[in-house]
Amino acid sequence: MTDDAFLLRPVGRVASPLTDPADAPRQGDEGAPEAYLDFTPEVATALRDLRVGAEVLVLTWLDRARRDVLAVHPRGDASRPETGVFSTRSPHRPNPIGLHRVRVLAVDGLRVRVADLEALDGTPVLDVKPVLGPPDER
Amino acid sequence: MTDDAFLLRPVGRVASPLTDPADAPRQGDEGAPEAYLDFTPEVATALRDLRVGAEVLVLTWLDRARRDVLAVHPRGDASRPETGVFSTRSPHRPNPIGLHRVRVLAVDGLRVRVADLEALDGTPVLDVKPVLGPPDER
């Protein structure tokens, strides 16, 4: 790594019935339950324009991931060849930032209900960005 | 913010002719030049399966952004109403993580040449993830 390091400060937490990594679907449209994003009061201004129905990207800190894993068997399938993590969506990676596309279902003050979030209960939230429309992920 | 904080360690840097924030296009398909990702030797295993032609998401640390800005005029246009940053792609936000969709043009050891990267020269690279295909950004 380089000498520099940067400090992330969570802006909220995920509240979800998903508590066991073994139960979590690998991507949000594979059956994730509805979940909540509970934001801290300090970022109320940042989230004030989130609207019901919006498709947004939620960035999280995958706090139960390993940072020393550089290659994995995709989807945990040992029959598949080990692959460098930058070519996988494994949570295990040097900077375990999760990227989740979700739909806003309700906004109630600092609590935002979302569909299709595969993150575990308690996962720190780092950022929310709007989806830009195709081509997305810009 | 919460009491927790997490330490990001860059896995590389952007090398780009873009050096002035005023010159940077706002999104990658608005005329960004070709650029390089120069990775650190420690993550060689993580990037070994990146292939020419791959569409990937590059996560960066927008080190020239402000973290205390919670609302902005979209695209810097003062005639547009101030909007909470979680509903914009402004670089200024509590955790200034950049998300860039790019195409891999060449791989030469730890140096990866990419198209359509709007990040400034020297920007720290945090992560690379594959695009999953529509619906993307999962």
pLDDT in tens, A3-34: 689 999 999 999 999 998 776 666 555 567 78
- How far, CA to CA in Å, does B34 sit from each of A54, B25, B85? 32, 13, 28
Distance from CA of A27 to the nearest CA of B (A): 6
**Closest chain A residue by Cα to residue B97:** A127
Task: Please give chain B's pLDDT, 138 residues, in tens.
Answer: 456 899 999 999 999 999 987 766 665 555 677 899 999 999 999 999 999 999 999 999 999 999 999 999 988 889 999 999 999 999 999 999 999 999 999 999 999 999 989 999 999 999 999 997 544 343
Which one of A70, A84, A137 has the shortest CB-CB distance to B57?
A137
For domain A12-130, the CATH superfamily is YaeB-like (2.40.30.70)
Name the residue ranges covered by the structural domains of chain B: 12-130
- Counted across chains A and B, CB pairs separated by less than 8 A come out at 194
Question: Which of A138, A120, A122 lies closest to A130 in space, CA to CA?
Answer: A138
Give chain B positions within 8 Å (CB) of A80.
none
Interface test mutation site (partner A, options B68, B87, B112, B128, max chain A beta carbons within 10 A): B87
Distance from CA of B122 to the nearest CA of A (A): 12
Q: Give the separation between CA B48 and CA A105, rounded to whole angstroms.
A: 39
